[in-house]
């Protein structure tokens, strides 16, 4: 019995390209609904702030996510719609690549894997740098596969290499770690004999030039900002270990593996790793070897990074894009797909659980502390904005001879809280209120590169500062700011709650009549009457 006969017996009605596209479209509809229902996460609010101050670079990341968010209106769906569509276009590229290598059946399996991978629950919904990254990398892989499938030095090969250059440039405008992908491609062209002739054609070098031109605005921005973005990323991911010793190292590596198993689901994780392993060990098929090598490159880099710092689960997520293609092609060629089907079912169930949690705060109800739950951190900010609005009114009210503040600004001590406050106040129509992240004792962030309170405010202005509730002692931020304001009052509590759950308790402090100066800068002379 031929392979075609086996395939026909296992798949008596072989799924078509159209059905694969239908699966992709159905997944898109579900993700659009979730994008509209769930409040913005802390990072999404932060990137939304970026989108209102477009630039060629930012402190934390390259600019692609800000440009993507700027395409939509100021609603939860508007902020995320670019990310959702980017995920769909990334899926389309993966389907095309799988179809190129394994036919319509491979495209069908790729659609199922792409849709049922738990990574889809957040990675193709949330407006984070991963959204443009996945889009750009998926099209990079597709373009490279097409280029390698075309005759050497042909016009088609040159065109696809040029497209790959554009996609690589966009990927690096999304995350700097995208440099691992062209590095893996170059390594593969050197290592694998079927690909070596490609180094003697102009296409790969055209790709390098095109990618460099696309990235050039961000490089210029960094050059004019003391390379702050590169410095942050190097320190953030590859800085000195926070904890030394074999036990800490083992814990970081286990966290890395556990995070990837969670993003892929345990069964699909094993199947994807197995597909990558077989790909790099194959002989004679340079394209398959290249796809496997790309996955290995990304995973190996972050395994090494974990020897120094904790690796967030999403950082190596791009490794699964080529792995999905490889697994789909294998499934289309094999009569044994039982474990893949089980993995898809389990992945789908996990996605449902994530979506239920995202809409009902299931995790805190089951005992997870809200402060440790990233989903919980997105809820309740509309109530905080209402309380802050009231605190601003209080700050503007005369008291014991105090005059009205010329203007009342709003601030938080964490950039995440500042971004959420700005977003929520804007939703309430109070976008005229300036919101700052004071960064007194916390890590540097994009707010430090924008005009700060001391640069925008005038003497006599007031400030409503939102801080976590403390018991028994005045917050260190208030102690540091006390010499610079005529008066500081403890304002009303600010309670963040949702679905009947109290998620966090904060307090609004009323800082009246700025005297000028700022901690670490100049200290004003304080009148004797104070």
For the chain, percent of residues with pLDDT exceeding 70:
90
Task: Confirm if 514 and 463 have CB atoms less than 8 A apart.
Answer: yes
Lowest mean pLDDT among 5-14, 223-232, 406-415: 5-14
* pLDDT for 302 beyond 50: yes
* pLDDT for 474 beyond 50: yes
Alpha helix segments (H runs only) across 306-397: 320-333, 338-360, 362-365, 381-395
Q: Quick one: tokens of 70?
A: 């700027």
- Partnered with residue 498 across adjacent β-strands are 501
Alpha carbon distance 280, 260 (integer Å):
20
Lowest mean pLDDT among 218-222, 313-317, 492-496: 492-496
- Partnered with residue 501 across adjacent β-strands are 498
Alpha carbon distance 140, 392 (integer Å):
50
Lowest mean pLDDT among 20-24, 245-249, 328-332: 245-249
For the chain, percent of residues with pLDDT exceeding 90:
63
Higher pLDDT, 8 or 149: 149
Q: Give the pLDDT confidence score for residue 522 in this predicted structure.
A: 57
* pLDDT for 11 beyond 70: no
Lowest mean pLDDT among 226-235, 309-318, 470-479, 490-499: 470-479
Alpha carbon distance 66, 44 (integer Å):
10
Q: Give the pLDDT confidence score for residue 242 in this predicted structure.
A: 63
Q: Give the pLDDT confidence score for residue 398 in this predicted structure.
A: 62
* pLDDT for 236 beyond 50: yes
* Per-residue confidence band for 243, with pLDDT thresholds at 50, 70 and 90: low
Q: Give the pLDDT confidence score for residue 432 in this predicted structure.
A: 64
* pLDDT for 5 beyond 50: no
- Partnered with residue 489 across adjacent β-strands are 510
Q: Give the pLDDT confidence score for residue 8 in this predicted structure.
A: 41
Contacts 24+ apart (CB under 8 A), 519-523: 519/440, 519/480, 519/481, 519/484, 521/454, 523/483, 523/484
Domain boundaries, the chain: 13-227+245-360, 376-514
Query: With left for phi above 0 and alpha for psi between -120 and 50, is residue 464 left, alpha or beta?
Result: beta
Residue bearing tokens 């994530």 = 354
Average per-residue pLDDT for the chain: 88
Question: In 10 A of CB 9, how many CB atoms?
Answer: 10
Q: Give the pLDDT confidence score for residue 404 in this predicted structure.
A: 54
Question: Interior CA angle at 327 toward 343 and 149, to 5°?
Answer: 160
User: pLDDT of 358-387, one tens digit each?
Assistant: 888 888 777 777 777 788 889 999 988 888
Q: Give the pLDDT confidence score for residue 3 in this predicted structure.
A: 42
Higher pLDDT, 7 or 252: 252
Q: Give the pLDDT confidence score for residue 395 in this predicted structure.
A: 75
User: pLDDT of 380-439, one tens digit each?
Assistant: 999 888 888 888 887 776 655 555 556 889 999 889 999 999 999 999 887 766 789 987
Note the pTM of the prediction, 2 decimals: 0.91
User: pLDDT of 519-529, one tens digit each?
Assistant: 876 555 444 33
Task: Confirm if 307 and 249 have CB atoms less than 8 A apart.
Answer: yes
* pLDDT for 470 beyond 80: no
Residue 505, CA distances (Å) to 121, 428, 475 in order:
29, 21, 14
Alpha carbon distance 173, 213 (integer Å):
11
Lowest mean pLDDT among 28-32, 47-51, 364-368: 364-368
- Write out the DSSP string of 379-417: SSHHHHHHHHHHHHHHHTS--TTPPPPS-EEEEESSHHH
User: pLDDT of 319-339, one tens digit each?
Assistant: 999 999 999 999 999 888 999
Task: Confirm if 110 and 95 have CB atoms less than 8 A apart.
Answer: yes
* pLDDT for 497 beyond 90: no
Burial group, residue 46, by CB count within 10 angstroms (0-12, 13-18, 19+): buried
Lowest mean pLDDT among 135-144, 224-233, 268-277, 400-409: 400-409
* pLDDT for 4 beyond 60: no
């Amino acid at each position: 019995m031929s392979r075609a006969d086996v395939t026909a017996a296992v798949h008596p009605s072989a799924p078509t390209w159209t059905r694969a596209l239908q699966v992709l479209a159905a997944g898109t509809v579900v993700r659009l609904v979730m994008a509209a229902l769930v409040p913005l996460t802390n990072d999404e609010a932060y990137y939304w702030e970026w989108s209102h101050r477009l630039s060629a670079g930012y402190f934390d990341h390259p600019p692609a996510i800000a440009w993507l968010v700027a395409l939509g209106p100021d609603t939860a769906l508007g902020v995320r719609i670019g990310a959702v569509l980017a995920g769909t276009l990334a899926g389309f590229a993966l389907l095309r690549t799988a179809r190129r290598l394994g036919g319509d059946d491979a495209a069908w399996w790729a659609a199922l894997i792409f849709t049922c991978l738990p990574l889809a629950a957040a990675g193709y919904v949330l407006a984070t740098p991963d959204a443009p990254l996945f889009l750009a990398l998926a099209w990079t892989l597709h373009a490279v596969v097409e280029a390698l499938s075309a005759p050497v030095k042909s016009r088609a090969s040159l065109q696809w290499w040029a497209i790959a250059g554009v996609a690589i440039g966009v990927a690096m405008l999304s995350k700097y770690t995208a440099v691992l992908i062209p590095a893996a491609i170059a390594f593969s062209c050197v290592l694998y004999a079927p690909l070596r002739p490609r180094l003697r054609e102009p296409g790969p070098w055209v790709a390098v030039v095109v990618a460099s031109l696309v990235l050039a605005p961000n490089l210029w921005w960094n050059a004019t900002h003391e390379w702050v973005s590169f410095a942050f990323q190097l320190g953030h991911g590859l800085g000195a270990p926070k904890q030394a010793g074999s036990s800490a190292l083992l814990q970081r590596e286990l966290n890395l593996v556990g995070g990837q198993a969670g993003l892929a689901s345990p069964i699909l994780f094993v199947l994807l790793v197995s597909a990558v392993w077989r790909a790099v060990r194959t002989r004679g098929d340079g394209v398959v070897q290249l796809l496997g090598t790309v996955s290995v490159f990304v995973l190996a880099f972050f395994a090494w990074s974990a020897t120094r710092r904790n690796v967030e689960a999403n950082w190596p997520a791009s490794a699964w894009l080529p792995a999905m293609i490889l697994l789909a092609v294998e499934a289309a060629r094999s009569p044994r797909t039982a474990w893949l089907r089980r993995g898809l079912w389990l992945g789908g169930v996990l996605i449902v659980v994530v979506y239920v949690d995202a809409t009902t705060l299931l995790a805190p109800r089951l005992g997870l502390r809200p402060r440790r739950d990233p989903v919980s951190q997105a809820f309740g900010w509309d109530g905080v904005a209402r309380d802050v609005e009231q605190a601003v009114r209080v700050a503007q009210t005369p008291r014991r001879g105090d005059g009205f503040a010329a203007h009342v600004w709003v601030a938080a001590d964490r950039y995440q809280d500042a971004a959420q406050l700005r977003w929520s106040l804007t939703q309430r129509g109070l976008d005229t209120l300036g919101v700052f992240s004071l960064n007194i004792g916390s890590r540097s962030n994009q707010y430090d590169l924008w005009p700060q309170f001391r640069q925008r405010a005038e003497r006599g202005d007031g400030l409503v500062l939102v801080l976590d509730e403390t018991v028994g002692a005045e917050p260190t931020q208030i102690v540091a700011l006390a010499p610079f304001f005529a008066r500081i009052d403890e304002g009303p509590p600010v309670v963040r709650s949702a679905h009947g759950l109290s998620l966090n308790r904060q307090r609004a402090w009323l800082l009246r009549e700025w005297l000028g100066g700022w901690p670490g800068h100049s200290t004003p002379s304080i009148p004797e009457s104070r």
